[in-house]
């Protein structure tokens, strides 16, 4: 039985969402319709593609064999669309970008707004997650990461370095006294990550300096930054975040200074798609410029 692209599209939706309801939301279809289409596909192929359980839909061995072919069909359809619209100039369609929340909160809004200005028919979605974005499940079309992945068929491009320093609100320093040496950190309230929720070793900032007790902790960079801004304590802060507020200043810049990097992660096959290549270039160029602009203001 020959399968249509629509069959493959629905199959991919269930494989990535691992449930009919998640697939229905992604595909903008009623979950019951998704279920009927999957049943019809399985009947046509003469084999189950999913093992159903209370935990959701898991690919069977046959489903795992099919998914690579379905993804190639997806790439072919996108390439066909690119070929039709090539030369039209502005980009269109939908793009979803996953990023750690520091990048998502303080950099991507400005960068994506500029890309949107240049491409008014393009729909841009930012997924801010305090964990690694799963591209294989199509949580995003491309992702920003703080360290390059070691597995998977992925394209990895270093975008830029960025810098972090220990910082505090001037109101906190006025209340507790100046910090002119590492000894002055004793007894200070520290702000940082919940230790067991640090999803990347590059985010384990305080441990580098032997500062292990965190009095105020969150898995969100934005929450940590707002604590610092409100004068609640000291925290390691992205230099590019500091210009977004007033009254926050870096301390011990010579003794405590960190350099990290952003990487652009894409599906390896997406390099054949002109639309995705153009978006990747615009995104990487925009992030480089924005990091440089904001860090120059600190």
Residues 245 and 176 in one domain: yes
Task: Supply the range of the domain harboring residue 114.
Answer: 93-160+261-295
Contact partners, residue 161, CB within 8 Å, separation at least 6: 259, 260, 261
Q: What is the pLDDT along the chain (298 residues), one digit of tens a residue?
A: 446 778 888 888 888 888 899 888 888 889 899 999 999 999 888 999 999 888 889 899 998 888 878 877 776 676 666 555 554 566 878 888 999 999 999 999 999 999 999 999 899 999 987 666 666 666 788 999 999 887 767 889 999 999 999 999 999 999 999 999 988 888 899 999 998 888 778 888 777 677 778 999 999 999 999 999 999 999 999 999 999 999 999 999 999 999 999 999 988 777 667 778 889 999 999 999 999 999 999 8
Residues 99 and 129 in one domain: yes
- pTM for this predicted structure: 0.72
Contact partners, residue 292, CB within 8 Å, separation at least 6: 160
Burial (0-12, 13-18, 19+ Cβ within 10 Å), 10: buried
Residues 202 and 220 in one domain: yes
**Inter-residue contact 285 to 110 (CB < 8 Å):** no
Can you list the pairs that 221-225 forms with residues at least 24 positions away whose Cβ atoms lie under 8 Å?
A: 221/100, 221/101, 221/102, 221/105, 221/130, 222/101, 222/102, 222/105, 224/191, 224/192, 224/193, 225/105
Residues 250 and 178 in one domain: yes
**Inter-residue contact 16 to 138 (CB < 8 Å):** yes
Residues 287 and 150 in one domain: yes
Taking the CA atoms of 119, 138, 197 and 261 in sequence, report the sign of the dihedral they define: negative
What is the DSSP secondary structure assignment for residue 181, as one 8-state letter? S
How far is 111 from 287, CA to CA, in rounded Å? 6
Residue 99: the pLDDT is 93
Residues 63 and 119 in one domain: no
**Inter-residue contact 266 to 160 (CB < 8 Å):** no
Phi and psi torsions of 67, nearest 5°? -65, -35
- Identify the bridge partners of residue 267 per DSSP, sorted by sequence position: 154
Task: Indicate the number of domains in the chain.
Answer: 3
Residues 176 and 149 in one domain: no
- The CATH number linked to 65 is 1.10.10.10
How far is 112 from 120, CA to CA, in rounded Å? 11
Residues 108 and 144 in one domain: yes
Residues 230 and 278 in one domain: no
Residues 131 and 248 in one domain: no
- The CATH number linked to 146 is 3.40.190.10
Residues 100 and 240 in one domain: no
Residue 9: the pLDDT is 86
- In degrees, rounded to 5, the angle at the alpha carbon of residue 291 between the alpha carbons of residues 287 and 292 is 115
Residue 233: the pLDDT is 96
Structure tokens belonging to residue 129: 């997650």
Residues 153 and 182 in one domain: no
């Amino acid at each position: 039985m020959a399968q249509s692209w629509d069959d493959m599209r629905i199959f991919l939706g269930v494989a990535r969402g691992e449930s009919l309801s998640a697939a229905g939301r992604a595909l903008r279809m009623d979950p019951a319709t998704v279920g009927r289409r999957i049943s019809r596909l399985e009947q046509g192929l003469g084999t189950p593609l999913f093992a159903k359980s209370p935990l959701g839909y898991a690919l069977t061995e046959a489903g795992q064999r099919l998914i690579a072919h379905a993804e190639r069909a997806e790439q072919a359809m996108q390439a066909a669309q690119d070929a039709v619209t090539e030369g039209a100039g502005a980009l269109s369609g939908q793009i979803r970008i996953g990023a750690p929340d520091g990048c998502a909160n303080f950099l991507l809004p400005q960068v994506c707004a500029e890309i949107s200005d240049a491409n008014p028919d393009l729909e841009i979605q930012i997924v801010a997650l305090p964990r690694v974005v799963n591209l294989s499940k199509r949580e995003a079309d491309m992702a920003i990461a703080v360290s390059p992945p070691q597995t998977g068929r992925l394209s990895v491009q270093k975008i830029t370095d960025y810098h972090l320093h220990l910082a505090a609100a001037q109101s906190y320093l006025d209340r507790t006294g100046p910090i002119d040496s590492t000894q002055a950190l004793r007894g200070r309230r520290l702000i940082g990550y919940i230790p067991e929720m640090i999803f990347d070793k590059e985010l384990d900032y305080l441990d580098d300096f032997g500062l292990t007790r965190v009095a105020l902790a969150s898995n969100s960079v934005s929450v940590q930054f707002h604590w610092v801004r409100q004068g609640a304590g000291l925290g390691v802060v992205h230099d590019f975040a500091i210009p977004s507020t007033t009254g926050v200043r870096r301390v011990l810049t010579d003794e405590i200074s960190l350099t990290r990097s952003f990487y652009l992660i894409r599906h390896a096959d997406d390099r054949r798609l002109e639309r995705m290549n153009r978006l990747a270039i615009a995104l990487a160029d925009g992030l480089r410029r924005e990091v440089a602009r904001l860090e120059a203001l600190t």
